[in-house]
Amino acid sequence: MESSVKKFPHLTTLEVTKEVENPEPVTGTVTGEIPHWLNGSWFRNGPGILHFKQESVKHWFDGMALLRKFHFENGVVTYTSRLLHGDSMQKNTAAGCVVVSELYTSANKNGIFRRLKSFLSLPELTDNCLINFLPLGGHLCAITESNFTRNIDPVTLKTREKVDLAKHLPISLMSSHPLVDADGSVFTFSTSVAGTTRTRYNLIKILPCQADVPLEEVLKRAVVVGSIDSKWFLSPSYYHSFAMSQNFAIFIEMPMKMNIPKMAIAHLRHISYSECIDWRPEIKTRIHLVDKRTGKRFPAVFETDPLVVYHYINAFEEDGHVVLDMCCYQGQGFYEKFLVENLEEGPQHYWRKFGSDDKIVRATRFILPLIEDTSLCDKENLVRLSYTNCAAKVVKFGEIFCSGELLVSGTENPTINNKYLGRKYKYFYSSGGLSLPPGEMLTKIDVEKKRRIHTWKEKGCWTSEALFLQRPGAVSEDDGE
């Protein structure tokens, strides 16, 4: 049988015996030329180990975190990688199986002592921080979607202390894609579940600090700017990221709901956390705006048809509107793509399963008119921007229904020139294509022309999530690497 690595050669973590750590910097062979102005370190995060002696995880994103650093200096690039040696990885490695539950892989309870322990203790949340990094002053912190983070040595990538963010801020769960504002402030959203009170989504601001400020002090300076009450008492929306314009943080309450009571006893029922997330297509998607300065929620709530968003492209304000661009699914197709059983089947199976029209991701634009008093509006389209077919109409007091506009299909993991975060922009870049897992190609999209204008693809080469670096002295948005 053809090996999984030959089917998807860029997913080397599928290989059981793959050695993934390079604790000493490895100097790369450069083809072409690295720009002379490109100096510094680029940190990446993601799965490094899927297999233990007795068991493998069920999902790509359940793999144990591998921290990677690309360091650029004077035209030379070096690569360093280390596994994150957190509690979850060490316990799983010692047991030879998953004993700390991840999203799709429930803890192995074989054996009388493990089963007894699961009944006598609360579930242990993972510190397998494999998704991203959270910049906290001069500290590099690996994060996932739980309240735990791991401080990382930025030079050696060695794992430092475990930090429970819930001790400092109302965080039960949080976005794994924080955003950095122009002044250096870091914003993120968290979900707080507190006893009998209503579940809330909190906009958190972490103020910029000098590099020598201790991590504890950085967290003390963090503030909750504002909060949104969840529409559902103990079933808040799942979310992965959010968007920001110049004045607003934009939070989407999707009809993909987390059943908190069910999650609390998942370890007793031997089910994964993913089985506690319900897709409710009969419920509309709600879009909330929170003022980044005051924390005040915009009076109107915007609604649209049910959709799922994992990654946002950008948002900006123009003539009394917020323009919101994001990558949309009609269901939970994004996470399904990364089930190990699907990755092991190969490209033809993969395309048959995920190439249908309802499974393809669509970069979609929505326009939100900033009208506070909807009682003065009639049923006409409130969008006044001439370059779009988007619509927004009042359905009842305080609620505006929005219809989106397709920009392009088949693009995920978007990135822009970060100098244009929250500003009107023209281009975004995407790794991934229509048929295979992300990494198939690198594409440049013109959002004004609504089409791909350049695609880079080479046999044997695969892209990670892209990062655009603006050239010093650049005068155009796309002048950079």
Q: What is the pLDDT of residues 28-62, one digit of tens each?
A: 888 888 999 999 999 999 998 888 988 889 998 99
Q: Is the predicted pLDDT of residue 3 greater than 70, yes or no?
A: no
Q: Which residue has the tokens 């990221």?
A: 241
Among the ranges given (91-100, 135-144, 188-197), the one the predictor scored with the smallest mean pLDDT: 188-197
Listed residue (233, 208, 371, 360) closest to 289, CA to CA: 371
For the chain, the domains span 1-125
Q: How many CB atoms lie within 10 A of CB 210?
A: 8
Q: Position 472: which residue type?
A: P
Q: Which of 347-351, 396-400, 413-417 has the least mean pLDDT? A: 347-351
Residue 116 has pLDDT above 70, yes or no: no
Mean pLDDT, all residues of the chain:
87
- Burial class from Cβ neighbours inside 10 Å (0-12, 13-18, 19+) for residue 274 reads buried
Please count the other Cβ atoms lying within 10 Å of the Cβ belonging to residue 393.
18
Round to whole Å and give the CA distance between 473 and 481. Answer: 13
Spatial contact of 400 and 302, defined as CB atoms under 8 Å apart: yes
Which pair of tokens denotes residue 94? 């010692």
In the numeric block, which tokens belong to residue 131? 């998704």
Q: How confident is the model at residue 122 (pLDDT cuts 50, 70, 90)?
A: very low
Other Cβ atoms closer than 10 A to 295? 16
**HEC profile of 76-113:** EEEEEEEECCCHHHHHHHHHCCCCCCCCCCCCCCCCHH
Q: How confident is the model at residue 132 (pLDDT cuts 50, 70, 90)?
A: very high
| Measured distance CA(279)–CA(238) in Å, rounded | 10
Tens digit of each residue's pLDDT (9 = 90 or more) over 258-313 = 888 887 777 677 788 888 889 999 999 999 999 999 999 999 999 999 999 999 99
Torsion, Cα of 146, 66, 80, 20 (10° steps):
170
Cα–Cα distances in angstroms (integers) from residue 66 to residues 19, 37, 221, 368, 381, in the given order: 11, 28, 30, 39, 49
Distance in angstroms (rounded) separating the CA atoms of residues 31 and 187: 38
Q: Across residues 164-184, what is the average pLDDT?
A: 93
Give the mean model confidence (pLDDT) for residues 422-427: 97
- To the question of pTM greater than 0.85 for the whole model, the response is yes
